């Protein structure tokens, strides 16, 4: 008999523990937001930066009373910079954690892998930094707070023609990356229209270590510049090998270059005098940008990059939409996101257009002594 009582007691303790912990997970005083980001792997600086920026937004909003009288609780999962990991991560955030909205991913191919699931479950998703146009075309629950690549390609075309007086450009493209192929296609459309010529196109796959065959073919055409719309890990190696085979022209790139890892090692010299477009410059004296840099440095003892700024804006715009929705219902939140107009973000004035994209200027940065120095702003 005694044994049975003891068994009952044990079952009681265990089940109350389960009830208690599930209450804790679904705390009525919290609003759960999911984040999926490349926290490790080849684009880890992207994921960490946008996460750090987003965390500042969460702390700020919670510090000033939260949203709808509740605290924001961020549940962050790592995609390991792998597109194939994304569906599992997003399913888990939606179905197990029961998040009411999603922030992510940074890389376009991975946002494209997560968006169909968010759309299917009617969970609003805001990507801080994915610039490929197809991401938001997936459905009316998918938004972004950054510009898109047809504009970014126009920016680099204008910069090449007007500021650098460069006309003969070669392309080096990451063939399995939607961001890279999309940007290259956009550049191929715009650059010739402005009087430029694409004299050669070569391809690589992210993670390759030897680019000399492609670079040698490019060198044979004697380009004035090479446009490489890729991510920083590969571009670091490409730049070193380009100089090793005697290519001396400047390299042009896009926002995927912006990481302190871009200029590590020999790439510091290899990239001197090269240029890339991105979302925001830390040299911009506007108070929004300078205050954010200060807060970021105090908390993380490092300088924020474009991803950190965008992570913060993505969070703030989402929290604001939840406030305005007055509710955590997905449909109501997405209706508010669709209405964002002239929102003063730290990356500029943000208006979400009919295609759920943000329309805003881009900056071109020059690489000097391993640092990124503001060159010019190009408006849409
Ligand atoms: N725009 C890139 C993409 O869509 C990601 C990125 C954003 C990289 C901002 C760096 C800075 O894949």
Residue nearest atom 5 in ligand 1 by C-alpha distance = 107
Neighbours of 207 (CB within 10 A): 10
Given a cut of 90, whether residue 201 has pLDDT beyond it is: yes
Residue 340 pLDDT greater than 60, yes or no: yes
Q: Which tokens go with 23?
A: 């209450």
Q: What is the pLDDT of residue 27?
A: 82
Residues with Cβ within 6 A of ligand 1? Answer: 46, 106-108, 129-132, 179, 255-256, 258, 306-307
pTM here is 0.91
Chain centre distance of CA 16: 42
Average pLDDT over residues 29-48: 96
Mean per-residue pLDDT for 248-270? 97
Q: What are the b/e assignments for 30-58, b being 16+ CB within 10 Å? A: bbbbbbbbbbeebbbbbbbbbbbbbbbbb
Structure confidence at residue 8 (pLDDT): 55
For tokens 């750090």, name the residue: 52
Give first-to-last CA distance, the chain, whole Å. 80
- Please state which of the ranges 71-75, 131-135, 279-283 shows the lowest mean pLDDT: 279-283
- Within the chain, strands assigned E span 30-37, 71-78, 101-104, 125-127, 142-144, 168-174, 197-204, 225-227, 251-253, 275-278, 343-345, 348-350, 362-368, 371-378
Give me 275's structure tokens: 């240029």
> What are the structural domains, with CATH classification, of the chain?
26-147+284-360 (3.40.50.2300), 150-278 (3.40.50.2300)
pLDDT tier, 20 (very low <50, low <70, confident <90, very high otherwise): very low
> What is the average pLDDT across 35-40?
98
What is d(CA 252, CA 230) in angstroms, rounded to the nearest whole number? 10
How far is the centre of ligand 1, averaged over its atoms, from the C-alpha of 153 (Å)?
A: 13
pLDDT band, very low/low/confident/very high, at 9 (cuts 50, 70, 90): low
């Amino acid at each position: 008999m005694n044994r049975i009582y003891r068994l009952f007691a044990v079952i009681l303790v265990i089940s109350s523990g389960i009830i208690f912990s599930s209450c804790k997970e679904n705390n009525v005083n919290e609003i759960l937001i999911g984040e999926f980001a490349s926290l490790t792997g080849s684009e880890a600086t992207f994921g960490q930066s946008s996460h750090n920026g987003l965390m500042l937004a969460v702390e700020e909003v919670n510090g000033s009373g939260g949203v709808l009288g509740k605290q924001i609780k961020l549940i962050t999962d790592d995609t390991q910079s792998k597109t194939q990991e994304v569906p599992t991560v997003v399913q888990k955030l939606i179905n197990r954690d029961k998040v009411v909205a999603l922030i992510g991913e940074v890389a376009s191919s991975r946002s494209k892998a997560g968006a169909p699931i968010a759309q299917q479950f009617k969970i609003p998703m805001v990507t801080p930094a994915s610039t490929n146009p197809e991401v938001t075309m997936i459905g009316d629950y998918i938004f972004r707070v950054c510009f898109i690549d047809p504009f970014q390609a126009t920016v680099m075309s204008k910069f090449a023609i007007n500021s650098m007086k460069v006309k003969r450009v070669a392309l080096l493209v990451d063939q399995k990356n939607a961001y890279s192929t999309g940007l290259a296609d956009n550049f191929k459309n715009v650059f010739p229209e402005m009087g430029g010529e694409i004299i050669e196109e070569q391809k690589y796959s992210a993670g390759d270590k030897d680019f000399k065959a492609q670079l040698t073919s490019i060198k044979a055409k004697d380009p004035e510049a090479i446009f490489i719309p890729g991510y920083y890990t590969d571009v670091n190696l490409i730049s070193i090998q380009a100089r090793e085979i005697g290519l001396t022209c400047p390299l042009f790139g896009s926002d995927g270059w912006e990481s302190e890892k871009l200029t590590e090692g020999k790439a510091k010299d290899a990239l001197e005098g090269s240029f890339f477009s991105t979302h925001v410059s830390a040299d911009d004296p506007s108070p929004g940008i300078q205050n954010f840099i200060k807060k970021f440095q105090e908390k993380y003892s490092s300088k924020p990059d474009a991803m950190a700024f965008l992570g913060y804006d993505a969070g703030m715009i989402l929290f604001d939409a939840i406030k305005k929705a007055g509710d955590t219902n997905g449909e109501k939140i997405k209706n508010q996101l669709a209405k964002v107009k002239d929102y003063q973000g730290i990356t500029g004035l943000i208006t979400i257009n009919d295609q759920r994209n943000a329309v805003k200027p881009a900056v071109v940065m020059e690489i000097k002594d391993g640092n990124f120095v503001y060159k010019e702003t190009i408006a849409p």
